[in-house]
C-alpha cells in the first residue's frame, strides 16, 4: 500500500481485529477438525475412514456431485449466455429465479421434493404404482443437490459474459463462422476460467450440502447417507474420532477448493490485464 | 458490389433509430456516414451487415434483397470501434480465423493460410507482431489487425464502425490516410461511420449527413461543406457563428449596424438567421469605408496554422473568427483591443417569420 492516510495505530487495530476474527472463526475450527481427527493416531483415523458405511457415504457423495455438477454446468452456461447476450422478455424474472435457491432455506428446498415426490406428495401415488423411488433414494438426493447448487455456475458466468459484450461473437459471424462454431471457438474460450471456477464452487457445495439432502435422504446407512449426513450420525453416536475423520475429508475438499480458486482468480486477473 | 437501402425503418422500443432512410452506395465507392451519436448511423451500418434487423424497408446487395441472407453469407468485412479482436488468439490466428471457418471444400491449405496471413500483415506493415496477442499491441496496431482480419475473407463490402474513434489524434490521421490509399488501390465498396467531420471530409468520396434517424444531405465533401442544405449540416461540418438580422439587397442589418454581404440578393427586406464560418470575417483596425461591427478582442490563440480569435461585440454577442498568421501579424492583435468586423462571405441564411 502506498497511501498512508490513516495513522499507524488505526491500521494496527483494524488489522488485529481482522486477524483475531479470522483466527477465531475460520482457522481455529478448521484446526480443531484435524486435531480431533488425529487425536487417537493415524491408525484409528484410517480405520474409521475404511468403515463400509463411511466408504458408501463417500461413494454416494461423489456420484451425486458427478451428476449434479455437469447438469448445472450445461444449465449455467446456457442461462448465462441467454441472460448476458440477449435482451428478451422475462430476462429479469429468469435472473431472480436463478438466485432463488440461494435465498430459500435448504430445508425448504428438501421439503419441496418431499411434497412433490413423497408418498403423500403430488406424484406420490403414481410413483408408488410404477415402483419408482425418488425420495429416500439416490434420485431425490441428486434432485435436492441440483436445486441448491443451481445458481453456482450461472452466477459466475453472467458478469464475465456481460463485461465481454457481443462484439467478438459478432466479428466471428461477419467472418463467416456459424453460430455453433462461434460458440465453441470464441465464447467458450473467453469464459474458460469462469467455467472452471463455477465448477469448483458448484462441486464444493454439492459435496457439502446438508440441509436439503438431509430431508430427502431418509438416513439409510450405507445406502442414502452422504458424507455430511454420515458425519452427523457418527457425531450423534459419540464416535467423535470417526466423525472428525470424515469431517476432515470434507474440510480437505474445502481447502483444495480454496487453493484452486485462488490460482484461477490469479489467472483470470492476468487474462484481464492482458 | 453496390448496396442500396430503401425506406428503412428501425425502432428500439419507442426510440426511432432510423426513420425512412434510403441510400445507394455505388460499387467501389468510399462513403462516410456522418452524424452525432444517436443519429442512426451505426444502426444503419449494422443493418447492412446483418447484425441488426430493420422493421420495414429493404436492403439490396447488387440489386438482390438481402433479407434472408445470414451475416456469415453476406460477404461483409466489419471493423468495430473497439477492434473486437479475439483476445485468446494470436495475431496470426485472428487473421486466419475467417479462412479456417470456411466450409471444408473451400478452406485453403495450411500453407495457403500462412501465405495469405503474411501477405495481409505486409499490407498493414505489421509482419513482426504475428505471434503476439491483442493485449500486447497498441490501439492503432489492433485496429490495423482488425482490418487485416476483415480483409482476409475477401469481403464484397467493407463496413467500418467508427474505426478510428478510440485512437490518438496522430494515429487517427495516419490511419485514415492509409485507409484512403488502400481504398484507391483495392476499390472495395466501403461504408464507414464517423462523428468526426474532419475525418469524413478528408477520406470519403461522398458524405451522408445523418441526424435523428434521417438523412439530411448526401454529397461530395466539397458539396456538403460549401452548399449545406440546412443549418444542421452547416453546424455539424464545422464551427459557425450565427446572427439574427434583417436581410436587404446586398446587406445584413444586425442591430443598428448595416454589414455588406457580397453577392446577396433579396427582393424585399426579410428577417433571417445568418450563418457565418469563422474564416468568412474580415478584421481591421479602423472602421474602413463600409460599415462594420465594433468589437473587442477577448482571446487570441496564435498556436496553429491559423489564428483563432474570440471577439465580443458592443451588444455582447460573441464571435469566433479565424484569420491567417499573416493577417494576425499585420493587425498586431492583442487582448482587449478594439477591432472592426466586416463580412467577406456568408455560409447560409435562413429566413424566419419574425425576429426571435
Is it the case that residue A272 has pLDDT exceeding 70? no
Contact call for A178 and B101, based on CB within 8 A: yes
Closest residue of chain A to B87, computed from CA coordinates = A190
B45 — contact with chain A (CB < 8 Å)?
no
Instruction: Tell me which of A67 and A240 has the higher pLDDT.
Output: A67
Contact call for A176 and B150, based on CB within 8 A: no
Length of chain B: 356
Mean pLDDT of chain B, nearest integer: 88
DSSP string of B189-219, one letter each residue? EEEEEES-HHHHHHH-SEEEEEETTEEEEEE
Are B354 and B270 spatial neighbours (Cβ–Cβ below 8 Å)? no
pLDDT for res B117: 92
Q: Which residues of B107-133 are buried (b: 16+ CB within 10 A; e: fewer)?
A: eeeeeebeebbeebbebbebeebbeeb
Q: Which of A171, A181, A274 is the closest to B84 by Cβ?
A: A171
Q: What pTM did the predictor assign?
A: 0.78
Contact call for A175 and B98, based on CB within 8 A: yes
Closest residue of chain B to A188, computed from CA coordinates = B88
Is it the case that residue A154 has pLDDT exceeding 50? yes
At CB < 8 A and 24+ separation, what contacts does B347-350 make? B347/B228, B347/B234, B347/B240, B347/B275, B347/B276, B347/B277, B347/B280, B348/B228, B348/B231, B348/B234, B348/B275, B349/B247, B349/B264, B349/B272, B349/B273, B349/B274, B349/B275, B350/B230, B350/B231, B350/B272, B350/B273, B350/B275
Tens of pLDDT along A220-231?
777 778 888 888
pLDDT for res A96: 86
Q: Which of B51, B135, B149 is the closest to A274 by Cβ?
A: B135
pLDDT for res B355: 46
Helix (H, G, I), strand (E, B) or coil at B25: strand
pLDDT for res B97: 94
How many A-B residue pairs are in contact by the CB < 8 A criterion? 67
The closest alpha carbon to B335, from B292, B305, B296, belongs to: B296
pLDDT for res B352: 65
Closest residue of chain B to A174, computed from CA coordinates = B72
How far is the C-alpha of A76 from the C-alpha of A98, rounded, in Å? 9
Tell me the chain A residues in contact with residue B85 when contact means C-beta distances shorter than 8 Å.
168, 171
Average pLDDT over residues B155-181: 89
Tell me the chain A residues in contact with residue B70 when contact means C-beta distances shorter than 8 Å.
173
Instruction: Tell me which of B347 and B31 has the higher pLDDT.
Output: B31
Instruction: Tell me which of A24 and B270 has the higher pLDDT.
Output: A24
pLDDT for res A218: 76
Hey, what's the cell of B241?
457563428
Average pLDDT over residues B236-252: 84
Tens of pLDDT along B6-18?
999 998 888 888 9
% of chain B residues with pLDDT over 70:
98
B132 — contact with chain A (CB < 8 Å)?
no
Are B23 and B4 spatial neighbours (Cβ–Cβ below 8 Å)? yes
CA contacts within 13 A on the Cβ side of A76: 32
- Residue labelled with grid coordinates 481427527: A37
How far is the C-alpha of A258 from the C-alpha of B175, rounded, in Å? 48
pLDDT for res B356: 43
Q: Which of A174, A178, A271 is the closest to B49 by Cβ?
A: A174
B98 — contact with chain A (CB < 8 Å)?
yes
Is it the case that residue A241 has pLDDT exceeding 60? yes
pLDDT for res B22: 92
Q: Which of B71, B86, B102 is the closest to A168 by Cβ?
A: B86
How far is the C-alpha of B239 from the C-alpha of B321, rounded, in Å? 10
- Kindly report the nearest CA distance between residue B335 and chain A, in angstroms: 45
Contact call for B72 and A178, based on CB within 8 A: yes
Tens of pLDDT along A101-149?
888 888 888 888 888 877 777 777 777 777 777 777 788 888 888 888 8
B78 — contact with chain A (CB < 8 Å)?
yes
Contact call for B153 and A172, based on CB within 8 A: no
Mutate which: A176, A184, A187, A192, vs B, most B CBs within 10 A: A176
Mean pLDDT of chain A, nearest integer: 83
Is it the case that residue B95 has pLDDT exceeding 90? yes
Average pLDDT over residues A49-72: 86
Q: With cut-offs at 50, 70 and 90, classify the pLDDT of residue B240.
A: confident
Average pLDDT over residues B299-321: 89
The closest alpha carbon to B182, from B25, B79, B30, belongs to: B30
B95 — contact with chain A (CB < 8 Å)?
no
Amino acid at each position: 500500500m502506498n497511501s498512508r492516510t490513516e495513522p499507524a495505530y488505526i491500521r494496527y487495530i483494524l488489522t488485529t481485529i481482522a486477524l483475531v476474527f479470522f483466527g477465531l472463526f475460520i482457522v481455529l475450527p478448521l484446526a480443531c477438525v484435524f486435531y480431533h481427527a488425529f487425536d487417537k493416531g493415524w491408525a484409528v483415523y484410517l480405520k474409521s475412514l475404511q468403515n463400509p458405511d463411511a466408504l458408501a457415504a463417500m461413494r454416494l457423495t461423489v456420484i451425486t456431485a458427478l451428476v449434479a455438477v455437469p447438469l448445472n454446468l450445461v444449465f449455467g452456461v446456457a442461462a448465462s449466455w441467454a441472460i448476458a447476450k440477449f435482451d428478451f422478455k422475462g430476462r429479469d424474472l429468469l435472473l431472480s429465479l436463478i438466485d432463488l435457491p440461494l435465498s430459500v432455506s435448504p430445508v425448504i428446498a428438501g421439503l419441496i421434493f418431499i411434497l412433490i415426490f413423497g408418498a403423500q406428495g403430488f406424484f406420490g401415488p403414481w410413483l408408488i404404482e410404477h415402483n419408482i423411488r425418488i425420495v429416500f433414494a439416490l434420485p431425490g438426493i441428486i434432485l435436492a443437490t441440483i436445486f441448491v447448487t443451481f445458481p453456482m455456475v450461472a452466477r459466475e458466468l453472467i458478469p464475465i459474459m456481460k463485461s465481454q459484450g457481443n462484439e467478438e461473437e459478432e466479428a466471428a459471424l461477419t467472418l463467416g463462422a456459424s453460430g455453433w462454431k462461434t460458440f465453441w471457438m470464441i465464447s467458450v474460450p473467453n469464459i474458460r476460467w469462469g467455467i472452471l471456477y463455477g465448477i469448483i464452487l458448484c462441486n464444493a457445495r454439492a459435496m457439502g450440502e446438508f440441509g436439503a439432502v438431509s430431508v430427502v435422504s431418509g438416513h439409510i446407512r450405507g445406502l442414502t447417507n452422504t458424507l455430511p449426513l454420515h458425519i452427523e450420525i457418527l457425531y450423534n453416536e459419540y464416535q467423535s474420532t470417526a466423525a472428525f475423520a470424515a469431517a476432515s475429508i470434507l474440510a480437505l475438499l474445502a481447502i483444495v477448493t480454496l487453493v484452486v480458486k485462488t490460482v484461477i482468480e490469479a489467472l483470470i486477473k492476468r487474462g484481464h490485464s492482458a | 458490389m453496390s448496396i442500396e437501402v430503401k425506406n428503412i425503418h428501425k425502432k428500439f422500443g419507442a426510440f426511432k433509430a432510423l426513420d425512412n432512410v434510403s441510400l445507394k452506395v455505388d460499387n467501389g465507392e468510399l462513403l462516410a456516414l456522418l452524424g452525432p451519436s444517436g443519429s442512426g448511423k451505426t444502426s444503419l451500418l449494422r443493418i447492412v451487415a446483418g447484425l441488426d434487423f430493420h422493421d420495414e424497408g429493404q436492403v439490396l446487395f447488387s440489386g438482390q434483397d438481402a433479407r434472408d441472407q445470414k451475416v456469415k453469407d453476406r460477404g461483409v468485412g466489419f471493423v468495430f470501434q473497439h477492434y473486437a479482436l479475439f483476445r485468446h488468439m494470436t495475431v496470426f490466428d485472428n487473421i486466419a480465423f475467417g479462412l479456417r471457418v470456411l466450409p471444408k471444400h473451400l478452406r485453403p491449405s495450411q500453407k495457403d493460410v500462412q501465405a495469405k496471413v503474411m501477405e495481409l500483415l505486409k499490407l498493414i506493415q505489421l509482419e513482426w507482431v504475428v505471434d503476439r496477442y491483442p493485449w500486447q499491441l497498441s490501439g492503432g496496431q489492433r485496429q490495423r489487425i482488425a482490418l487485416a482480419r476483415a480483409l482476409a475473407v475477401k469481403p464484397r463490402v467493407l463496413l467500418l464502425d467508427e474505426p478510428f474513434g478510440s485512437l490518438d489524434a496522430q494515429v487517427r490521421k495516419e490511419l485514415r490516410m492509409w485507409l484512403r490509399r488502400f481504398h484507391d488501390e483495392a476499390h472495395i465498396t466501403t461504408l464507414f461511420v464517423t462523428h468526426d467531420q474532419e475525418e469524413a471530409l478528408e477520406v470519403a468520396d461522398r458524405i451522408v449527413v445523418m441526424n435523428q434517424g434521417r438523412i439530411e444531405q448526401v454529397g461530395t465533401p466539397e458539396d456538403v461543406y460549401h452548399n449545406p442544405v440546412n443549418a444542421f449540416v452547416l453546424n455539424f461540418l464545422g464551427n459557425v457563428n450565427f446572427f439574427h438580422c434583417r436581410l436587404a439587397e446586398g446587406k445584413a442589418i444586425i442591430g443598428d449596424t448595416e454589414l455588406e454581404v457580397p453577392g446577396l440578393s433579396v427582393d424585399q427586406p426579410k428577417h433571417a438567421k445568418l450563418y457565418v464560418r469563422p474564416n468568412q470575417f474580415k478584421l481591421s483596425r479602423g472602421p474602413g469605408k463600409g460599415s462594420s461591427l465594433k468589437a473587442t478582442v477577448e482571446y487570441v490563440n496564435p498556436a496553429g496554422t491559423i489564428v483563432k480569435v474570440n471577439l465580443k461585440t458592443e451588444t455582447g454577442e460573441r464571435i469566433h473568427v479565424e484569420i491567417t498568421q499573416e493577417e494576425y501579424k499585420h493587425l498586431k492583435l492583442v487582448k482587449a483591443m478594439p477591432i472592426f468586423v466586416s463580412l467577406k462571405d456568408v455560409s447560409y441564411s435562413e429566413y424566419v417569420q419574425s425576429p426571435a
